Amino acid sequence: MNLSQKLKNIVAPPAAQSQYDQALEQVRVIAKELQAALNQPQVLVQVVPGHTVNMGQQFRFVLRRTNPDFSDTLFRCYIRPIDGFPVTLSLYEDENVQCANQSELEDKIVEFLARAPIAERIRSVGASP
């Protein structure tokens, strides 16, 4: 195998989706569904990469309103780059939740978003100024 082929093999996507990719895709799907549920074109729900730390690659789950400009990080999740799970959700400053699989990840995020103060924050961003 020549050098060119070796480098192409390095950058080629894997044949199967990794656990890391599955976990990140699950968080992105939840963001997309929440944005659709808000049904407000000026409100975006984004999964924004942050720092890599001991718990994994950080992603912030962010509500962003474009007019007027406003941003609110609802929670952070940490996905382990090598094996994906368990995913750690940092819901409040002192509350970390471990999710062992995709189903648990979805359940824990939805439970968090349904908490009264969080749901109120989501509604307030979606409300007209």
Round to whole Å and give the CA distance between 33 and 81: 24
The Cα–Cα gap between 9 and 43 comes to 39
CB 86 within 8 A of CB 65: no
Global pTM value: 0.83
Domain ranges of the chain: 18-126
Find, among 75, 81, 99, the residue nearest to 20 by Cα.
Answer: 81
22-48 residue pLDDT tens: 999 999 999 999 999 998 888 999 999
Element (H, E) at 80: strand 69-80
- pLDDT, tens digit, for every residue of 86-117? 999 999 877 899 999 999 999 999 999 999 99
Using CA of residue 61, residue 64, residue 29, residue 115, what is the dihedral sign?
positive
